[in-house]
A and B are shown apart, each in its own frame.
Chain A
């Protein structure tokens, strides 16, 4: 039971990270109708930028952990958001009205560009960082000596996710930008006729998605203490699985799917085998798409002839 509780905590933390990435996939799919294949690599770039800005800040003598973390978070979000904007501008916008395979292939190309760019720029080796947030709480001391722990990192990850989700939900539900985004999702031509700047709205979608991915990248760095140039691929596919599981196009669905994937992966590793955890995640993707193509909270897609 204690073991189960510990895995539940770990799974929820991992799921928060996946959920943050999944939101980027689901938003872009909802509005543009394409799988932003490079989104996983945007997450990786976010992790790298968090790492580098952290190193620089520490070497300047800043030691107050909350201040450092806040600055790192903002820098990472800002620069990664610009990456998202640039990717959309260069690789996707010229292809918006092209045939259906073109944006997908361009996205795959962009994914290679981003991951190999960071390999060339920062080297292929894994970058470890010492634990930045230490300490934690012991929730329960089992009779067999197994201890259920909730570390401070885990609290930070979950709290940041909740706060950001609250801000993000407010943004989509209450602001002009959110209204524009929802309008574009329903009908781009009609939205344009009613005075919505479609290009700008799509750009902003990519910017917001990338900023959330940057947060996920930083949380990943804090939680696992390492980044490498290849981590975006697998994390990206898992987050996409989460988006599909939750119902693509649905924002609460993405978070829900993220948590589900995080829990499934953690429990699979804990009770079956660590080696096959990625196989489990990919199999879920296939099974979900076959039996529940609309996911948990998605709307069925109606095909018009």
Chain B
């Protein structure tokens, strides 16, 4: 076996030499030429008579092939310059622990900055809106983190709970006229009931199968929302959902509004600031509950389940309740976030609850390092901020998102913050690289 591995590594040694690089780049360019020949080289569109017509785009095709050729050479040069793969990943332990120490100050600094955002950027509605959006995803990420990061159950249908929360609030508010603060817990509880309903059947499933079933579940919820027109309004969605109030005082320009009561001039920004602090409080609640739960037996059981389900069972942990509570807790926060989303938008439709949304939240959790609260927050900031950068290139956004997801997985499959801080330790807590953690098939 030793001989085999040795020869395998010899084989993978980078072979310097311009001929090798050129040959590789030529092959890549040829592959790109074939791949793009019809898809890029020829553009089809329905003509004025409904008949399909086509025109050629050989210029674009040539450009793309040239980009692949040059890019392939560049990648090969960078790879040779970096040396054999694997060497760069061995970060010495003191550096890692130093980073972990620095990380202790990042979180409070970030929190203080977030608290001050509405003060600093009071006049910039765009930044406030973006901040609310980022915080919504931070909350969703923290909620999903309970299921995926802590309990190790891969959930591709998280958006279903988000949808349940949003529709519960929208329906209760528009039909019965209940206020946001009464509907919020109802939405959360309903979502977590759905979480348990999903959890029961999938108890015996593992890994990829679990992922597909949760994906199917998410799609079923969306399809039911689309088709149950009498209740949900179908593809048209529900509009004129009431805005949240400050304990019954609406944030409107009228005489009953908050501005009039406080005796200050009305400003639509007040509501944005209010929404900002509401979602911040909700996200922090999620974070706080998660951190506290991790210290309880149930949280320890989640992490044990993630690492090894069989060992978990052998130690007498009830995996049924462990999995169900994970699903229910995750879904609860998803439902809260959904209710907030509905009240912020004032309008919801099934289009907001597609699989892409689930994938985005999952990407945030994975990018954040699966289980790291700070990592998830930073990842949400990076992802949503990155999305905003591509706002002008609307149709390229998902393409770039997909490419980023693939590259990220290849570059850092364990996420940005790839270390595990143990919750239980002997004498001294020492963060270890998560590359060393073997994950079971939860």
Contacts and interface: CB of A to CB of B under 8 A. Distances in A.
Interface of A: 34-35, 45, 48-49, 51-53, 55-56, 59, 75, 79, 82-83, 86, 90-91, 94-95, 98-106, 108-125, 127-130, 192-193, 233, 237, 240-241, 244, 275-276, 278-279, 282-283, 285-286, 289-290, 293, 303, 305
Interface centre among A90, A101, A122, A233 (most CB of B within 10 A): A101
Given A125-B45, A283-B220, A289 B205 contact: yes
Interface of B: 4, 31, 34-35, 37-40, 42-46, 50-52, 54, 154, 156, 201-202, 204-205, 207-209, 211-213, 215-217, 219-220, 223-224, 227, 310-311, 355-356, 359, 362-363, 366, 370, 395-396, 398-399, 401-406, 408-410, 413-414, 439, 441
Given A45-B39, A104-B211, A276-B227, A110 B54 contact: no
Interface of A is mostly: helix
B148 to A, nearest CB: 8
A4 B37 CA distance: 44
A120 B395 contact: yes
B406 A113 contact: yes
A94 B410 CA distance: 6
Given A35-B208, A51-B44, A52-B38, A113 B362 contact: no
B35 A82 contact: yes
Given A91-B406, A278-B223, A282-B219, A55 B52 contact: yes
Given A108-B359, A112-B405, A303-B310, A102 B211 contact: no
Given A110-B406, A282-B223, 5 more contacts: A35-B212, A45-B39, A101-B439, A289-B209, A289-B213
Contacts of B359: 108, 112
A56 B54 contact: yes
Nearest to B405: A109
A293 B52 contact: no
Contacts of A192: 4
30 contacts: A34-B208, A35-B212, A45-B39, A48-B38, A48-B39, A51-B52, A52-B54, A59-B54, A82-B31, A95-B409, A98-B409, A101-B154, A104-B154, A105-B363, A109-B409, A112-B405, A113-B403, A119-B399, A127-B46, A128-B52, A130-B51, A237-B219, A276-B227, A279-B224, A282-B223, A286-B213, A289-B213, A290-B205, A293-B209, A305-B311
A282 B44 contact: no
Contacts of B402: 109-114, 116
Contacts of A276: 223, 227
Nearest to A45: B39
A300 B207 CA distance: 16
Nearest to B395: A120
Contacts of B403: 109, 113
A302 B224 CA distance: 37
Contacts of B54: 52, 55-56, 59
Given A106-B405, A116-B402, A290-B202, A121 B439 contact: no
